[in-house]
Structure 1
Amino acid sequence: MSDLDVRPAARVCGGREEVAAQPVRELLKPRDVPLGESSVVRRLLPTLGRRMVGAWCFVDHYGPDDISDEPGMQVAPHPHIGLQTVSWLHAGEVLHRDSLGSAQVVRPRELGLMTAGRAIAHSEQSPGGHSAILHGAQLWVALPDAHRHTDPAFEHHAELPVVTSAGGLSATVILGELDGAASPGSTFTPIMGADLSLADGVDVAVPVEPDFEYAVLTMSGVTEVDGVRLDPGSMLYLGCGRRELPLRAYGNSALLLLGGEPFEEKLVMWWNFVGRTGDEIAQARREWAEGERFGAVPGYEGPSIPAPALPDLPLKPRGRTR
């Protein structure tokens, strides 16, 4: 899961200056970004004026795309530090390989969770004989300072807890907890993520934590979230202060509920790196370009993604401006 922008901007993330301590309804506008050889994603986080939701610091939504006559997702090996990646599918398959030697096909509503820690490299591809439709989300979770140099790791959880309601709601817990059900995925901050499926006409309230900030990404169908009607691919930032979140479905629909305790530490995020200083980011870029630190990705045929040039201005915190 990579940011393939050839001129990535350095972003300052974290801090509590723009965390809404009360419920809000802020619609986040996506922008189209190419991913690999043949895919385009809608980037929803970070965006102008909104950098994080809890520890969630990066959200891309892609598809549903017909790739029956195409190679599908083809993202060559690339590096990460200081974060976790979450691969989440509604349709299709993604073959994950990494420098630890992992080789795993991730399928719909299975959790592919990679902890980059101090350094890892990985690739993502639609496997041979892949399904005709590809639809999913790619997400990053920032690691707190106490854990950002941890050993890299990869987890695959094919079975995740599901919370259901008599009204027609089914919620798969991706990370953290929802309504007493806990995901087996490793976490390092108070965080939660859940995939909510709603049958046509569902009108329900989902329990949430008042100290967490939340956002909702509509994956498919039309939903009403706390009174705001959302089309597919829309993301609504909700702030903090709720104990329940009202949802209504117009036709069968699905959405991702992302939340967590506001991330207090300031971060510098550039390309595929999450660090604390510009020097740290520059060092990681240099070591990737020189073939050090991250290791090779066994089984991948082809070159790795080269690191883009650093921006002319120093990579340092400059405040969270709109």
Structure 2
Amino acid sequence: MSNVEADPAELRCGATEHGEPGPRVDVLSARDVPLGGPRAMTVRRTLPQRARTLIGAWCFADHYGPDDVTVSGGMDVAPHPHTGLQTVSWLFSGEIEHRDSMGNHAMVRPGEVNLMTGGLGIAHTEVSTPDTTILHGVQLWVALPAEHRDTARDFRHHAPPAVRVGGADIRVFLGSLAGDTSPVPTFTALLGAELVLDPGTTTTLTIDATFEHGLLVDRGTVRMAGTSLEQAELGYLAPGHDTLTLTNETDEPARVVLLGGEPFEEEIVMWWNFVGRSHADIVEAREAWQNASDRFGHVEGYDGDRIPAPALPNATIAPRSNPTRPKGA
């Protein structure tokens, strides 16, 4: 999945339920992005955008489905490259077949995280399986810090248990929350978790006050620290808070994905499937992919051609960083 779409999403600053002072939650709206093909699968993208490039080291968030694959065509992403990042795949329904240039052949299933480290370079494919009727999930990227961005390729799989806190079932796929810690390694301090909130309930979680947090709503209407979020919206909470209160405002279970991490202070350049620090990094990675360099390796078992890199823009790709905001605001 790529990041060449240019239309920025709107930013709405939330207000508390009755107008009282409270933690400021910025509400980021998603934009629809077709992945390509005659029956393009459309995803809802909340990161990156002009208002916010990163939440911790999380630099990319696509939310898709529930899609009837007989209509949408499902997912069929041919061999494509990544550099300078980790991909995190998390499904709510359906199944995706993963193959990569390390020789890994694995399935992405609901409640099981697959994390792939691109580092200096990796290639992979993502194809929904023939038995999949409804495809629904999120695709997330994590930017690697400069000292690790050329690290070796890696692939990890983990099926986190459900942890019960108040009115919520929580599955922690990265980092620590609610007394559970994922064994999946990351290169910066991160949090990634799915929460299913009981109808009409309020749950307060203990969170790391040094982290910034983002809450992506998959299903329902959820109040985050007093600010209402609708389906596909992403709420942002700055560092400085050691608790987070979530309320499911509906009479059905609500589902959200909670992302967090220490603020990522480095500027990054994101273009297509590459994360670097300069325009030159992107040019070098693109040239290596176009020339079928050993840098990315080869994916076995996919019946089709590689995805060619798009043409570079007629301008220098500038580094991006987040807007400055007071801690705890």
TM-score (norm 2): 0.88
2:214 corresponds in structure 1 to 215
Mapping of residues 229-268 of structure 1, within 5 Å = 229-249=228-248, 250=250, 251-268=252-269
TM-score, normalised relative to structure 1? 0.90
Q: Which residue of 2 aligns with 1:162?
A: 162
Contact 1:23 1:241 in 2 (8 A): no
Is residue 2:136 matched to residue 1:135?
A: yes
Post-superposition Cα deviations, 1:197-223, rounded to whole Å, max 9, x if no partner, equal 111122110111111001100011221
* Percent identity for Structure 1 against Structure 2: 49
Partners of 1:70 and 1:59 lie apart in 2 by 20
Task: Answer whether contact 1:162 1:181 (CA < 8 A) is retained.
Answer: no
Cα deviation per residue 1:103-132 (whole Å; 9 max; x = unaligned)?
1111001001000011000110101222x2
Does the CA contact (< 8 Å) of 1:217 and 1:256 recur in 2? Answer: yes
- What is the CA–CA distance in structure 2 between the aligned matches of 1:34 and 1:203, rounded to whole Å? 35
Partner of 1:93 in structure 2?
A: 95
Secondary structure of the corresponding residue to residue 47 of structure 1: coil
Q: Distance in 2 between matches of 1:288 and 1:213?
A: 34
Q: Is the 8 A contact 2:91 2:138 kept in 1?
A: yes
1:283 counterpart SS class:
helix
Taking only aligned residues, the RMSD between alpha carbons, in angstroms, comes to: 1.9
| Residues 60-75 of structure 1 aligned to structure 2 (within 5 Å) | 60-68=62-70, 71-75=73-77
Provide the residue aligned with 1:44 in structure 2: 46
Contact 1:4 1:34 in 2 (8 A): no
Structure 1 position 69, deviation (Å)? 5.5
> Map of 1:80-119 to 2, 5 A cutoff?
80-119=82-121
SS in 2 for 1:189: coil
Off by >2 Å, runs of 4+ in structure 1: 68-71, 315-322
Q: In the aligned structure 2, how far is the partner of 1:264 from the partner of 1:123?
A: 31
Equivalent residue letter for 1:247: L
Task: Tell me the SS of whatever aligns to 2:146.
Answer: coil
Give the unaligned 5+ runs of structure 2.
Answer: 9-21, 325-329
Separation (CA, whole Å) in 1 of partners of 2:196 and 2:152: 34
Q: 1:316 to 1:106 in 2, by over 3 A?
A: same
Amino acid across the alignment from 1:31? R
In the other structure, the counterpart of 1:286 is 287
Match of 2:81 in 1: 79
2:307 matches 1:305: yes
- Alpha-carbon deviation of 1:315? 2.2
What stretches of structure 1 of length at least 5 have no aligned partner?
A: 12-21
Cα deviation 1:229-254 (Å, max 9, x = unaligned): 22211111111111111111122111
Aligned equivalent of 2:224: 225
Q: CA deviation at 1:23?
A: 3.9
Rounded Cα–Cα distance in structure 2 between residues aligned with 1:69 and 1:320: 37
Whole-angstrom CA distance in 2 between matches of 1:70 and 1:129 = 15
Q: Which protein is richer in strand relative to its size?
A: 1
User: How many residue pairs end up in the alignment?
Assistant: 305
Secondary structure (helix, strand or coil) at the match of 1:146 reads: helix
Per-residue CA shift, 1:130-187, capped at 9, x if unaligned? 2x21110010001111211111011122x2143212x321110010111331112111
